[in-house]
Amino acid sequence: MNSADEVIISGIPLDVPSDNYEEFDQEIDPAKLGDKLVQHNTLKGTEREFQPYSDTHLLLKVKNKKKQQDYRVNLAWLSAQPRRNKVVIWKWLYAGLGAAALTGLFIFLAVQDILKLEYSAVAGTVSLTTSLILILIFIYKLQDEFIFTSNFGKIDLFLIENKKPSQQEFDGFFINLQQGIERAKKNIPVTDRLVGELKMCRRLRDEGIIDDDTYTVARTAIFKHKQYQL
């Protein structure tokens, strides 16, 4: 899975019938919905919604310019400690600032009558446009996100961008999600959680959401758990 992807698929469409190993209400009861976190990415043209449901699941709604997809993931199969992925590619910013400085130089040369105004105007426009493009690329490639994984197999399931839409709203949702994961796992024996996660991984593989190699790695990690070594 490429961490640069806008969303990491976490489940199956809600309109797909529930399988025989995980109970889920296909008719959503509004009374069971928790607080929603909505994250927009204007540059990438996407919107993602995260909403706890019935203290056992997380609903995800993923929208882009072409389509909308709904997913769900069982909180009991998640790790409460996500992996942080922070990437800042400074070279794009430095290049953008360099191009902006070049624009300033052309303006200075024109004011000092060192370079003809028409030449300075053309060169300045080109360098300013280049600067804006490079800075936009820098912003587009910025990544500061938390990637939630399955608990034992460590499959990447979904990501949440840090500090969006605001630090306060993000922190509140993030902490509640971690606490919700811990509550969902509290009364489920480790053996049942191992089996549940394994079946989830198999379902994701069968539906083409993860590939065979990812499934094999997760299955191997699960069967290496001490519960299977007794």
44 and 81 belong to one structural domain: yes
* pLDDT of 49 above 90: yes
101 and 210 belong to one structural domain: no
CATH code (residue 164): 2.30.29
69 and 170 belong to one structural domain: yes
CB atoms within 10 A of CB 13: 10
Predicted pLDDT of residue 10: 46
Give pLDDT tens digits for 103-135.
Answer: 999 999 999 888 888 989 999 999 999 999 999
Predicted pLDDT of residue 6: 38
Range of the domain at 173: 30-86+145-228
In eight-state DSSP terms, residue 226 is: G
Predicted pLDDT of residue 181: 96
81 and 166 belong to one structural domain: yes
111 and 215 belong to one structural domain: no
Predicted pLDDT of residue 93: 94
127 and 156 belong to one structural domain: no
Give pLDDT tens digits for 65-106.
Answer: 888 888 888 999 999 999 999 999 999 999 999 999 999 999
Cα separation, 71 vs 230, in Å, equals 36
Given pLDDT bands bounded at 50, 70 and 90, which one contains residue 29? confident
Given pLDDT bands bounded at 50, 70 and 90, which one contains residue 230? low
The dihedral sign for the CA sequence 113, 118, 123, 125:
positive
Cα separation, 152 vs 154, in Å, equals 6
Given pLDDT bands bounded at 50, 70 and 90, which one contains residue 44? confident
In the chain, the number of structural domains is: 2
Higher pLDDT, 64 or 35: 35
In a domain, 19, yes or no: no
* pLDDT of 25 above 60: no
In a domain, 131, yes or no: yes
Predicted pLDDT of residue 209: 81
Predicted pLDDT of residue 115: 87
161 neighbors 49 (Cβ within 8 angstroms): no
Average confidence score pLDDT of the chain: 86
155 and 80 belong to one structural domain: yes
67 and 151 belong to one structural domain: yes
Report how far apart, in Å, the C-alpha atoms of 59 and of each of 49, 72, 153, 172, 222 are.
8, 5, 21, 17, 25
Rounded to an integer, the average pLDDT of 157-181 is 94
215 and 105 belong to one structural domain: no
131 and 224 belong to one structural domain: no
- 158 conformational bin, left if phi > 0, alpha if psi -120 to 50, beta if neither: beta
User: Sheet of 83-87: strands edge to edge?
Assistant: 83-87, 143-149, 156-161
* pLDDT of 13 above 70: no
167 and 215 belong to one structural domain: yes
152 neighbors 225 (Cβ within 8 angstroms): yes
82 and 154 belong to one structural domain: yes
Considering the chain, what percentage of its residues have pLDDT values greater than 90? Answer: 60
Residue 229 corresponds to which amino acid? Q
* pLDDT of 41 above 80: yes
Locate all alpha helices (DSSP H) within the chain, ordered by sequence: 90-111, 117-141, 167-186, 190-206, 212-223
* pLDDT of 2 above 80: no
